[in-house]
Amino acid sequence: MVKPSGSSKEASVSCDMCRKEVPLSEAVIPEAADYVAHFCGLDCYSQWKKQSEHARQRGEKAKK
Ligand SMILES: [Zn+2]
């Protein structure tokens, strides 16, 4: 499964969850993030989303 050479070098990013490198064109980029995050797939994205939502809820509850 090797892509034929000849195509220009594609930019790649590392997944924010598993650190796997993925081509920028295939990365999942959430639109509602406070910062730019990249994920190798929807699985990692949903995991990250769960974590961030959980963290946000904890932050609101910690507020007095
Ligand atoms: Zn990943």
- Ligand 1 mean position to 20 CA, how many Å? 6
CA dist., res. 58 & res. 55, Å (int): 5
pLDDT of 36 reads 85
Contact present, 21 and 4 (Cβ < 8 Å): no
**Total structural domains in the chain?**
1
Mean pLDDT estimate for the chain = 84
Between the CA of 28 and the centroid of ligand 1 the distance, in Å, is 9
Q: Which residue has the higher pLDDT, 10 or 20?
A: 20
**64 alpha carbon to ligand 1 midpoint, in Å?**
36
50 occurs within a structural domain: yes
Does this model's pTM top 0.75?
no
Tokens encoding 37: 């995050």
Are residues 17 and 39 in contact, defined by beta-carbon separation less than 8 angstroms? yes
Say if 43 falls within a structural domain. Answer: yes
pLDDT on residue 24: 94
pLDDT tops 90 at residue 28? yes
Per-residue pLDDT, 17 = 95
Q: Evaluate whether residue 2 is within a structural domain.
A: no
